[in-house]
Structure 1
Amino acid sequence: MEHNKTIFERVNEMAARKGYTCTPSQLALAWVHHQGKDVCPILGTTKIENFNQNIGALSVKLTLEEMTKLESFASKDVIKGDDFENNFGTWKNYETPPLSSWKTT
């Protein structure tokens, strides 16, 4: 976790250097948004404050250097710890009876 905390601190510093009220979350959303025209983050929130902050990410402009730096932070080889699949059950882990057992004869 300490390693991931260091990465978060670096992202936080990048957000602060943007010179306006850019949050780390906005920086991350802007990075996803800048991936290409065929990539769009899908956000879900129940609070209007969070919605407004998410919309603010659309005004964050990233340089190629910033994109490269953020990409280096997001690499699967850089983040440490268990991933999603190791922490949560998926549909594969449940004992669902085969479809053939549902059919009546």
Structure 2
Amino acid sequence: AAEQAARETAEQVARDEAEAMRAEIEALKRAKQQAFEETEALKANAMRAEIEAAPTPGAPRRRGGAFSAARGGAFSAQAKAEAPEPEKEDRAAAQPDAVAE
């Protein structure tokens, strides 16, 4: 009788482990499917963005873009900040032979 109970307990443990493995496999399959769907959505978004960014025939070409405008803006602002102020010439001093009547 004790042997029978031990056998039934071992069988139950094996069934529980098998069920846990099946549940884990199903969870992995769902995760794989979700990752696939997310990848496909990202590919579609990338393709859509590429199409939207492509120049259309007959449309005026845009100069620069967000990236270069931001970069150029930053560099030009930096250059303006560092550029020395142009010295104003004293025109009278520069032209001593000017009208001195």
TM-score class, shorter: under 0.3
Structure showing greater Rg? 2
**What TM-score comes out, normalization by structure 2 length?**
0.22
Greater relative CO, 1 or 2 (CA 8 Å, sep 6+): 1
**What TM-score comes out, normalization by structure 1 length?**
0.21
